[in-house]
Structure 1
Amino acid sequence: MVSEHASPLATLGGVDAGGQNVHVAALAEHLARLGHQVDVYTRRDDASLPRVVEMRPGVRVVHVTAGPARALPKDELLPYMTELGDELAREWREHGAPDVVHGHFWMSGLAALRAAAVTGPPVVQTFHALGSVKRRHQRERDTSPAGRADVEAKIARTVTRVVATCTDELAELVRLGVPSSRVSVVPCGVDVTHFRPPRPDDAVPPLQDGRFRMLSVGRLVERKGVDNAVRALPLLPDVELAVVGGPAQEEVRDDPEGRRLWQLACDLHVEDRVRFLGRVAHDDMPAVLRSAHVVVATPWYEPFGIVPLEAAACGRPVVASAVGGMLDTVQDGTTGVLVPPRDALALARAVRSIVDDPDHAVGLGTAARRRAVRRYGWDRVAQQTARVYREVLSAGRVAHVVEEQAV
């Protein structure tokens, strides 16, 4: 795997550390459990990092020098992808090329294709987010390098197979001119043993003044739409909003988005019902999710969205924006409720329908847990991904035989 900015060893919660890091780490681990050897190549962002770290049996993280050995925003990494590709090629010439290369994110795809061009393995690509979608929704706020969407389309048409994480992404790839036959849909996954429903002996954090708890989890960036949940609070006088994400709790109000959200809460006179919990450790997240009556995920757009899956695995109903991957992961009226993005009234009505009907809430949560286990457990996702690898390798062998016969 090539994951240029999202190391599986990174601490989660930063601006560029989130769902992709979790995806790469979990997929690598579960592929290793199936008996595969997985090397994850990521850009060295700290001079003190060892060259190779054994993350767990069967999974190594290899730090590759490409550009300065310090943390850089991912949107500034494009100039170093040629160097990354050349270093990968050198590594594979010296130590043997992998059977399959799986690029994660568009810039990783550039480096992977450059290295594979001289070492031979097929390249599978997962974009995690498409620049064409990002530009459509963020417009002038999009900080991606110029021409990203065009480069992504070329990558998608060049690699052996694209792995899309949802049907919405498949449709976008087809619009970019990628034949649907070259795309396999394999969703992101969730650890259904770590994220689980509450047990009778689980401690539940007390609620303030007996209020219902609405929980929002994610990076503190504007596109995540946490402000929509804040705007819904005046319509939900018996509901509090807990916000997880961003820096440590004591530093949230020094964060630009944290300050903006706090000011909005003050302007709406709901500041007494908004709690910023800051960054929460991965090990503690299931308990936080289980403490909520309803989990809300209200971004303007979302390539996939891990939080609705984690909430579902914990048996919690989700109210989510009807965008991106959440159109797949949240079944409207069965496991949760889908609402239009940036519609605080629709969000408030959906939350009201859940907190006012405990039996309905339990039914949604039970169905959500069942579906998370059946369709999104990492063991299943790893099996589906390995099947794609086998198909790619098999197609390559068939093509080689056909070429030999033609000669």
Structure 2
Amino acid sequence: MSPVRPAPPRVALVSEHASPLADLGGPDAGGQNVYVAQLADHLALRGHDVTVYTRRDARDLPLEVTTAGGVKVVHVPAGPAMRVPKDELLPCMPEFGSFLANRWRAAPPDVVHAHFWMSGTAALAGARGLGIPVVQTYHALGTVKKRHQGSEDTSPPRRLAIEAAIGRACRRVLATCADEVAELIAMGVDRDRVSVVPCGVDPRHFAPVADIARAAAGPRRLLAVGRLVRRKGFDRAIAALAAVPDAELLIAGGPEADLLFAEPEAERLRKVAEEHSVADRVTLLGAVAHDRMPRLMSGADLVLSLPDYEPFGIVPIEAMACRTPVVATAVGGHLDTVVDGVTGALVPPADDPSHLAQVIVALLDDPERLARYGRAGRERVLAHYSWDRVADGVARVYSAVRASASLSGAVR
């Protein structure tokens, strides 16, 4: 008689505003969408039975979709069937949690992994009384956002208190970098219940494009990538460009190129470029398709990632995977991913443009160092930041919390 094979672990990923099926580039569509989609796919490849729960934000969405990789995506009816800014979704979470509770009473998952703080409220409500362990990934912390944005922070007033309560109530918090661990401890989360598993990148997609040949006499190329929001520091890159001769700056992100005229941040950046007399050397590309990004990154001499703060920061590891060195602000996940003097350079977030320009020029004037940093960056990504490695780390956390829950019998 053949041995009975154990049933695959049943994993529920709760991602209230960030669907793994969403088109990237919208105001609330970015790194979390990629993380949830990639994690779900790689867990499914390992034999996990994966269901993603995300809010229904359009009337024509079916209740359930199964992806080509075998991941079930459930569109939860919670709030209006239309796009709602994520900072306005908290009133929808009780309905979201009730939906999860009804589902999970009939067919409980082995572990729940909530993504973002509001997902944590819904996941804990859905799992209450069922003995299902809940893992929480915040992706961004309200304490950090409030510190940097102050009165411009549009988060609900109760966010900080709710995030702290989630950290105490869930079985384990899964942080993405060491800087986040310090924030969690300051919030009152027990260090023993925090695990660190970084975000990832697909090194097969983000890989050096070998056939790019740039004219030796052409301008050196700097590239910055991200949503067109003030905190990303694109203005910092533009100001530094004024003291970087024979260089151009490309900025990828925001709406499609033909819609940039209506984008307030794009207009502000154009004015910054005019003020620094570099408008002829700055190009706003608008949205760049995912499949074009490796070529764009491979064609740059340096990628600049200069946000005021960054919970993790996916752009540096995408650039490093393409063998392109990075100049990044020493914040958040950059402190883990970019090794100063090895894969690129770290600069203070409040760095003045002249010093930033000196760092850039010193790198551009040293092709051998650029090449060495590029090789080291690619090696670092392969060693630490592939989605395979991320999924392995997350799966180990799931196994640990399942074992802990079965031993303690605690309802969490």
Partner of 2:336: 328
Q: Does 1:314 align with 2:326?
A: no
Q: Does 1:377 align with 2:386?
A: yes
| Counterpart-to-counterpart distance in 1, 2:259 and 2:282 | 16
Say whether the 8 Å CA contact 1:321–1:341 is kept in structure 2.
yes
Letter in 2 for 1:288: L
User: Structure 1 residues 218-227 or 55-64, which shifts more?
Assistant: 55-64
Percentage identity across paired residues of the two chains: 56
CA positional deviation for 1:209? 6.9
CA positional deviation for 1:65? 0.7
Unaligned runs of 5+ in 1: none
Partner of 1:58: 70
SS at structure 1 position matched to 2:140: coil
Partner of 1:388: 397
Partner of 1:109: 120
User: TM-score, normalised on structure 2?
Assistant: 0.94
CA positional deviation for 1:67? 0.3
| Counterpart-to-counterpart distance in 2, 1:93 and 1:396 | 17
Give 1:189's match in structure 2, choosing from 200, 207, 218.
200
Unaligned runs of 5+ in 2: 1-12
CA positional deviation for 1:89? 1.1
Say whether the 8 Å CA contact 1:46–1:69 is kept in structure 2.
yes
| Counterpart-to-counterpart distance in 2, 1:339 and 1:252 | 29
Say whether the 8 Å CA contact 2:327–2:344 is kept in structure 1.
yes
Map Cα deviations across residues 242-298 of structure 1 (whole Å, 9 max, x no partner). Answer: 000000012113201001001111111110000111101111111111110000000
Letter in 2 for 1:77: L
SS at structure 2 position matched to 1:146: coil
Partner of 2:145: 134
Letter in 1 for 2:205: H
Give 1:259's match in structure 2, choosing from 244, 267, 277.
267
Map Cα deviations across residues 196-226 of structure 1 (whole Å, 9 max, x no partner). Answer: 1232xx245x579710110000000011111
Say whether the 8 Å CA contact 1:340–1:346 is kept in structure 2.
no
Q: Does 1:22 align with 2:34?
A: yes
| Counterpart-to-counterpart distance in 2, 1:232 and 1:246 | 21
Letter in 1 for 2:99: E
| Counterpart-to-counterpart distance in 2, 1:129 and 1:224 | 14
CA positional deviation for 1:314? 0.5
| Counterpart-to-counterpart distance in 2, 1:27 and 1:100 | 14
CA positional deviation for 1:57? 2.7
SS at structure 1 position matched to 2:136: strand
| Counterpart-to-counterpart distance in 2, 1:275 and 1:209 | 19
CA positional deviation for 1:118? 3.9
| Counterpart-to-counterpart distance in 2, 1:359 and 1:180 | 42
| Counterpart-to-counterpart distance in 2, 1:207 and 1:139 | 46
| Counterpart-to-counterpart distance in 1, 2:62 and 2:359 | 49
Give the count of matched residue pairs. Answer: 398
Partner of 2:364: 355
Aligned alpha-carbon RMSD (Å): 1.5
Letter in 1 for 2:277: H
Partner of 2:102: 90
Say whether the 8 Å CA contact 2:212–2:298 is kept in structure 1.
no
Letter in 1 for 2:201: V
Q: Does 1:282 align with 2:290?
A: yes
| Counterpart-to-counterpart distance in 1, 2:266 and 2:96 | 35
User: TM-score, normalised on structure 1?
Assistant: 0.95
Say whether the 8 Å CA contact 1:215–1:241 is kept in structure 2.
yes
| Counterpart-to-counterpart distance in 1, 2:138 and 2:193 | 14
Say whether the 8 Å CA contact 1:36–1:58 is kept in structure 2.
no
Q: Does 1:234 align with 2:234?
A: no
Letter in 1 for 2:48: H
Give 1:272's match in structure 2, choosing from 260, 280, 284.
280
Letter in 2 for 1:256: P
Letter in 1 for 2:300: A
Q: Does 1:43 align with 2:52?
A: no
| Counterpart-to-counterpart distance in 2, 1:382 and 1:49 | 28
Partner of 2:5: none
CA positional deviation for 1:60? 1.3
Partner of 1:154: 165
CA positional deviation for 1:235? 0.5
Partner of 1:243: 251
Following TM superposition, where does structure 1 have runs of at least 4 consecutive aligned residues deviating by more than 3 angstroms?
Answer: 206-209
Letter in 2 for 1:124: V
Partner of 1:303: 311
